[in-house]
Structure 1
Amino acid sequence: MTQENEETLSTMAADENRLDESPRGVAILVAVGVVVGILSGLFGIGGGTVIVPALVWLGLTQRHAAATSMLAIVPTSISGVISYAVNGNVDWIAALLVFLGMFVGGQVGSWLLARLSELVLRWAFVAFLVFVIANQLVFVPSRDSQIVLTPFTGVGLVVFGVVAGILAGLLGIGGGAICVPALSILFGASDLIARGTSLLAMFPNAITTTVANVKRRMVHVKAALIIGIIAACITPFGTWLAGAVSPRVGSILFTLYLAALLIRSLWVAIKATRR
Structure 2
Amino acid sequence: NNITISFMILLGSFVGILSGLLGVGGGAIVVPALIMMGMDTKKVAVITSFVIPFSTFSAFLTYLSITKIDFYLLFIATIAAILGGFIGNYLMHFKLDQKQIKKIIAIMLYMLAIKMIWSVLK
Which of the five TM-score ranges fits, normalised by the shorter chain? 0.7 to 0.9
Report the 3-state secondary structure (helix = DSSP H, G, I; strand = E; otherwise coil) of the residue aligned with 1:20: coil
Q: Does 1:117 align with 2:85?
A: no
1:116-171 deviation digits (Å, cap 9, x = unpaired): 111111111111112122222333xxxxxxxxxxxxxxxxxxxxxxxxxxxxxxxx
Q: Which runs of 5+ in 1 are unaligned?
A: 1-18, 140-250, 253-275
Larger of the two Rg values belongs to structure:
1
Q: What SS is found at the alignment partner of 1:122?
A: helix
Identity %: 23
- The DSSP-based 3-state class of the residue aligned with 2:24 is coil
Give the corresponding residue for 1:137: 117
Q: Please tell me whether residue 105 in structure 1 is matched to residue 84 in structure 2.
A: yes
Unaligned segments of structure 2, at least 5 residues: none
Question: Using the alignment, how far apart are the partners of 1:33 and 1:64 within structure 2?
Answer: 16
Aligned length: 120
Residue equivalent to 2:12 = 33
Offset, 1:89: 5.3
* Alpha-carbon distance in structure 2 between the residues aligned to 1:89 and 1:134: 30
Residue 67 of structure 2 aligns to a residue in which SS?
coil
Q: Does 1 or 2 have the higher relative contact order (CA < 8 Å, sep 6+)?
A: 1
Match of 1:172 in 2: none
Structure 2 CA distance for partners of 1:54 and 1:98, relative to 1, 3 Å: same
Per-residue deviation at 1:40?
2.4
1:188-267 to 2 correspondences below 5 Å: none
Select the residue among 10, 21, 39 that pairs with 1:42: 21
Q: Structure 2 CA distance, aligned partners of 1:90 and 1:44?
A: 16
Give the AA of the match of 1:84: Y
Deviation at 1:58, TM superposition (A): 4.8
**Aligned partners of 1:41 and 1:80 also within 8 Å:** yes
1:85 aligns with 2:67: no
